[in-house]
Amino acid sequence: MKVDGHAYRTIWLKPEDPRIVQVIDQLKLPHAFEVKNLVCLEDARRAISDMTVRGAGLIGACAAYGMYLAALEASDTGFDAFLQQAGAILKATRPTASNLAWAVDRMLGTLSNGAAPAIRRILAKETANAIADEDIEHCRNIAAHGQGLIAAIAQRKPGQVVNILTHCNAGWLAFVDIGSATAPIYAAHDAGIAVHVWVDETRPRNQGASLTAWELGQHGVPHTLIADNAGGHLMQHGLVDVVITGADRVTRNGDVANKIGTYLKALAARDNQIPFYVALPSSTFDFSLRDGIAQIPIEERDPDEVRYISGQTTHGLVESVRICPTSTPARNWGFDVTPARLVTQLICERGLCNANEAAILSLFPEHC
């Protein structure tokens, strides 16, 4: 996607020195656009942990490049042990999104071929690049499949705008490029369909306000930021045609873990007969699980993310302020699980499917 007219991915190898991984620093958005260098395993670990990079697809890609950095760092003699240890370190950074462990396991699988370390360092680079390229290809296909849904709604209300509600950031910043939930929106907008996006602010970290609003703005997609609690009211008043969210982990029966608050949007959508779609690449499925509520690990983060809020002052400084009494206890769950019965359909790179095991496996029969 383009930022001020220049095409960017969210992660890439520095052209002048491919031993350096570069990422867009998402902690600085929307107030500043900065690129950060990752030069070692520890840099990659920290970038995922502190959410310099975030979003299911991107943390997968960053973990893959983290394994590449680990391969560069590893000695020839301790190569295999170091990579195993690196994989464990990266997997421990964030527990909910499937993509992270999926990417680490793919890197470890490819690199455990017993070849000389020098060969395997080259393979690590090629595999990390392939994971990033595939992420883009899958998002491009999600865009194509999802665009038809928006076009169909537009046909039913000629001359009117299609109103889409989304939660958190499942846009191109959450992947290597293009995104999942916003991919069909960009495609529809680019095809000349009049769309408007209701952007949930997405407390506590406000990825909707700081990231989704920013990237939709960069692409010229009409949008309006709303408080997280406003969605139900908008749905009751006919102001939402469709909800599209991303996902961090989806079980083989179609239960969806996504940013905290998604479940409430799905409940409100069901009560108002509004379709609720979830867009995801296959790397977000966890085919080993059948019960999302019982089995998907939900990340619990620092309570200070709830107790403090950060933003830019009128003087241009980015500051963090406390919004509750000093001694107020807080809890901070990062994700919730929307049961499959509330999901209208899944939008995947191979097409649309209902959120149940038979339909999912008919798209991905290799996991039967």
Instruction: Establish if 355 lies at the interface with ligand MRU (CB under 6 A).
Output: no
Pick the closer one to ligand MRU by CB: 22 or 245: 245
Instruction: Establish if 170 lies at the interface with ligand MRU (CB under 6 A).
Output: yes
Instruction: Establish if 203 lies at the interface with ligand MRU (CB under 6 A).
Output: no
Bridge-partner residues for 245, per DSSP?
A: 278
For the window 323-342, what string marks contact with ligand MRU as x by the rule CB under 6 A?
-----------x--------
> Which among 248, 255, 286, 336 is annotated as catalytic?
248
- Is 248 catalytic? The answer is yes
Instruction: Establish if 138 lies at the interface with ligand MRU (CB under 6 A).
Output: no
> Given the DSSP bridges, would you call strands 242-245 and 162-166 parallel, antiparallel or unpaired?
parallel
Pick the closer one to ligand MRU by CB: 110 or 180: 180
Q: How far apart are CA 51 and CA 49, in angstroms?
A: 5
Going by C-alpha positions, the residue among 141, 29, 34, 51 that lies closest to residue 100 is 51
Candidates 98, 127, 206, 245; binder of ligand MRU (CB under 6 A) is 245
Q: How far apart are CA 10 and CA 216, in angstroms?
A: 15
Instruction: Establish if 54 lies at the interface with ligand MRU (CB under 6 A).
Output: yes
Going by C-alpha positions, the residue among 66, 21, 27, 28 that lies closest to residue 50 is 27
What minimum distance in Å lies between the beta carbon of 338 and ligand MRU?
11
Q: How far apart are CA 60 and CA 136, in angstroms?
A: 12
Instruction: Establish if 265 lies at the interface with ligand MRU (CB under 6 A).
Output: no
Residue with tokens 């990340």: 299
Element (H, E) at 266: helix 262-271
Q: Tell me the one-letter amino acid at 299.
A: E
Give me the count of residues in the chain. Answer: 368
Candidates 1, 41, 47, 56; binder of ligand MRU (CB under 6 A) is 56
Tally of CB atoms within 10 A around 320: 10
Going by C-alpha positions, the residue among 249, 13, 250, 280 that lies closest to residue 133 is 13
Candidates 134, 200, 228, 248; binder of ligand MRU (CB under 6 A) is 248
Pick the closer one to ligand MRU by CB: 125 or 349: 349
Candidates 120, 249, 252, 259; binder of ligand MRU (CB under 6 A) is 259
Binding residues for ligand MRU, rule: CB under 6 A, are 54-57, 168-170, 174, 180, 207, 245-248, 258-259, 334
Residues recognised as catalytic: 248
